[in-house]
Amino acid sequence: MWRCPTWVSHKLRKPVSTLSIPGSMKGGAGGGGGRSVEGEDSGIALVGVHSEYPRYTEEKGGSGGGKNASFKLRNKPNVGYRLGRRKALFEKRKRISDYALVMGMVGIIVMVIENELSSAHVYDKHSSVSHALKTLISVSTVILLGLICAYHALEVQLFMIDNCADDWRIAMTWQRIARIVMELVICAVHPIPGEYYFYWTTKLSNHGGVEGSQWVPIDITLSLPMFLRLYLICRVMLLHSKLFTDASSRSIGALNRINFNTRFVLKTLMTICPGTVLLVFMVSLWIIASWTLRQCERYHDEEHANLLNTMWLIAITFLSVGYGDIVPNTYCGRGIAVTTGIMGAGCTALLVAVVSRKMELSRAEKHVHNFMMDTQLTKRLKNSAANVLRETWLIYKHTKLVKKVNHGRVRTHQRKFLLAIYALRKVKMDQRKLMDNANTITDMAKTQNTVYELVSDMSGRQDMLDERVGSMEDRLASIQESLDALPDVMGRCLQKHQELLDQRRSTGPSSNSLHPDMAARATGYPALTASQSPRSASVWQQQQQQQQQQQQQQQQQQQQQQQQQQQQTQSNVPPPLYPRTGLSPTLPGLPAPATAVNSLSGERSPTALSAQSLPKSEA
């Protein structure tokens, strides 16, 4: 048996199709040149730059190349390997994000401690303690930058696994690069070890607009931006959220095209616990803004050196009140005040929305409230109607049933009568308003039930209509078949009738009709031929009886007509003469033979019988 060579089979194999790019549904097959097309590795992606294709390059070198290729194909990652790798990268990314947040918070806390100790003159900026704390801040910042780089490296690896890419440069878009650079810049700002000052001149609004100048440490400008590291909290919340880690929720979100990002997690938290989220956010913003305002203003004004005064200023600005007793002097403080006012307006709107939602009655509470109000209004309506009837009766009583009318009492009852009518109208109006409010509550449920009933009814009617249309189509099809078969049936009937007529005509006049000379016989009935059977005789007898009855009826009718004519007219009209009608005598119990032939026309009578149709005994 002839077998295809190995190099021919390699050339005839088709390349990897694009259907295998999203996921490797089959792993690499083993063996050398005898592998089939189904054994190809589906993990080879078209987006790879330095991908190795051993099936089309290395296998051409001979058996050695085939072994190397099979070894590499067996080591290719399949779907299970990629899923496990992806899960491990998810866990590693979560841990790195936690470590980054810890390092960022450590740097912020150490920075606050160093600034507070130096502001309280516990030590100077040139002391070793200050240098040690700043060095600790620098070390934590360096670790934080490394963790951020590691986090984004894991992001790139996850992108490569999700998109079957084998080159990390494919994932490096300009948006990703810009985001990485921005995070590194934000997290890299920190107070460096050393003693550095700058000359800060500003106008003191609290002291009549006098300009003041002070030597301020440069640590102020480098410490305040460190609070921007708090964005890492949102990332940690996202990675630790059950919505993000649960596979079922992610599957449902993917089916509904929902992107699980920080915005979605914050919306979910605002829906679940809005009061807690707003409280934490507002308190944190209040404390941070107060401390930063104090650091900006403390070197020029002693009033702002007190933390309680700055907290008062931030609270008043946050609530959009602004008494003006304490105002910021520097542009740094003014910028913080403006930012606080904007955030306060937004938080106030959110707080009003949350409180209004919390104070709103639930559906069950609304139903109970509407039921109680409806009961009370029904009682008031009955009382008002009873008051109207009572005052009507009293007016009638004091005007018609008394001898002397008391007009004062009548006017009093008329006044009460009008008040009762007004109260009745007001109760009806309140009932109408209550019904409108109740309709807004149950409109959706009623509308849903009504629509469901209508749809069910329409569906049932549609099914019945479909059945009736189907039965009508079946009947029309059967009628069409009958109409199509009708010409054939009529043709067969006409052909059969024509054959019978031809058969009767083929027998000739000697056998089908009586000769005029045969009418003079004593019997008056022609003899039957030997070919006729007793069945034809019985049929003939039945026909003779029917003809006899018809003739008797005709004779009776003729006699009645003759009597009527004789009574009307006295003239005698001679009856028509038929040739040879009286030559053949009739047998008792049988009608006269109807075999007479018209001598004038030569045609047989419609009731003529053939001589072969008579039985032999009667002939």
pTM higher than 0.75: no
Q: Taking residues 322-346, what's their average pLDDT?
A: 86
pLDDT tens digits for range 172-188: 889 999 999 999 999 99
Q: Taking residues 472-482, what's their average pLDDT?
A: 92
AA letter at 555: Q
What confidence tier does 434 reach under pLDDT thresholds 50, 70, 90? Answer: confident
pLDDT value at position 443? 63
The whole-angstrom separation of Cα 221 and Cα 330 is 13
pLDDT tens digits for range 115-149: 888 888 888 888 888 899 999 999 999 999 999 99
What confidence tier does 570 reach under pLDDT thresholds 50, 70, 90? Answer: low
- Token pair recorded at residue 571: 């003239």
Lowest mean pLDDT among 96-110, 404-418, 554-568: 554-568
* Main-chain phi, psi angles of 216, to 5 degrees: -115, 135
Burial code (b: 16+ CB inside 10 Å, e: under 16) for 340-360 equals bbebbeebeebeeebeeeeee
Q: Among residues 311, 279, 282, 278, which one has the least CA distance to residue 294?
A: 311
Integer CA distances (angstroms), 496 to 500, 505, 614, in order: 6, 14, 25
374-442 sits in which CATH class? Answer: mainly alpha
pLDDT tens digits for range 11-59: 444 444 333 333 333 334 333 344 443 444 444 444 444 444 444 334 4
Residues 19 and 142 sit within 8 Å (Cβ to Cβ) = no
AA letter at 321: V
Going by C-beta distance under 8 Å and a sequence separation of 6 or more, which residues neighbour residue 309?
Answer: 303, 326
The whole-angstrom separation of Cα 202 and Cα 180 is 37
Lowest mean pLDDT among 138-147, 227-236, 244-253, 315-324: 244-253
The whole-angstrom separation of Cα 143 and Cα 148 is 9
- Token pair recorded at residue 211: 């300009």
The whole-angstrom separation of Cα 472 and Cα 337 is 83
Kindly calculate the radius of gyration of the chain based on its CA atoms and give it in whole angstroms. Answer: 58
pLDDT value at position 383? 95
Give CA 77 to chain center in angstroms.
39
| DSSP-based three-state secondary structure for 4 | coil
pLDDT above 80: residue 464? yes
User: What residue spans of 194-320 are helical by DSSP H?
Assistant: 219-223, 231-240, 242-245, 247-255, 262-272, 274-297, 307-318
Q: Where in the chain is the domain with CATH 1.10.287.70?
A: 273-360, 374-442
CATH number of 273-360: 1.10.287.70
The whole-angstrom separation of Cα 24 and Cα 72 is 15
Integer CA distances (angstroms), 326 to 298, 310, 421, in order: 13, 8, 63
Going by C-beta distance under 8 Å and a sequence separation of 6 or more, which residues neighbour residue 252?
Answer: none
pLDDT tens digits for range 484-500: 888 888 888 988 888 88
Fill in the DSSP letter of residue 127.
S
Going by C-beta distance under 8 Å and a sequence separation of 6 or more, which residues neighbour residue 326?
Answer: 206, 303, 304, 309, 312, 313
* Main-chain phi, psi angles of 213, to 5 degrees: -130, 140
Q: What is the mean pLDDT of the chain?
A: 76
Q: Taking residues 553-562, what's their average pLDDT?
A: 83
Percent of the chain with pLDDT over 90: 28
Fill in the DSSP letter of residue 597.
B
Residues 605 and 594 sit within 8 Å (Cβ to Cβ) = yes
With DSSP H G I counted as helix, E B as strand and the rest as coil, what are the percentages for the chain, rounded to 5?
A: 70, 5, 30
AA letter at 615: P
Angle, alpha carbons 405-407-408 (nearest 5°) = 135
pLDDT above 70: residue 268? yes
Going by C-beta distance under 8 Å and a sequence separation of 6 or more, which residues neighbour residue 327?
Answer: 205, 206, 313
